[in-house]
A = this chain, B = another copy of it.
Amino acid sequence: MNFTQRLLSCARQKDSWLCVGLDPHPERFPEKLKDDANALFTFCAEIVASTAGAAAAFKLNFAFFEAAGAAGWAVLEKLLKIIPSNVITIADAKRGDIGSSSEMYARAIFERLGFDAVTVNPFMGSDSVAPFLQRPAKGAFVLCLTSNPGARDFQYFSDGKNRLYQNVIAKVNDWNQKQNCGLVAGATQPAELRAIRAAAPNLPLLIPGVGTQGGDLKAAVLNGTDANGELALINVSRGIIYQSRGDDFAEAAGREAERLRGQINQIRRKAFAKK
Known: A159-B159, A164-B164. A67 touches B123 (CB 8 A): no
Would you mind naming 25 contact pairs between A and B with Cβ atoms under 8 Å apart? A23-B101, A63-B101, A63-B102, A64-B101, A66-B73, A66-B112, A67-B104, A67-B112, A69-B113, A70-B70, A92-B97, A94-B97, A98-B147, A98-B148, A98-B213, A122-B123, A124-B150, A125-B149, A125-B151, A125-B153, A127-B150, A128-B150, A129-B150, A154-B168, A159-B159
Among residues of B, the one whose C-beta sits closest to the C-beta of A69 is B112
Residues of the B chain whose Cβ atoms lie less than 8 Å from the Cβ of A151: 124-125
CB distance from A212 to the nearest CB of B (A): 9
Complex contact A70–B63 (CB within 8 A): no
Complex contact A70–B64 (CB within 8 A): no
Is A74 an interface position by the 8 A CB rule?
A: yes
Is A61 an interface position by the 8 A CB rule?
A: yes
Give chain A's interface secondary structure class. helix
Number of copies of this protein chain within its complex = 2
Residues of the B chain whose Cβ atoms lie less than 8 Å from the Cβ of A72: 73, 108
Quick one: which of B63, B76, B105 contacts A105, CB cutoff 8 A? Answer: B63
Residues of A within 8 A of B (CB): 23, 25, 61, 63-64, 66-74, 76-77, 92, 94-105, 107-108, 112-113, 121-129, 143, 146-155, 157-160, 164, 167-168, 171, 213
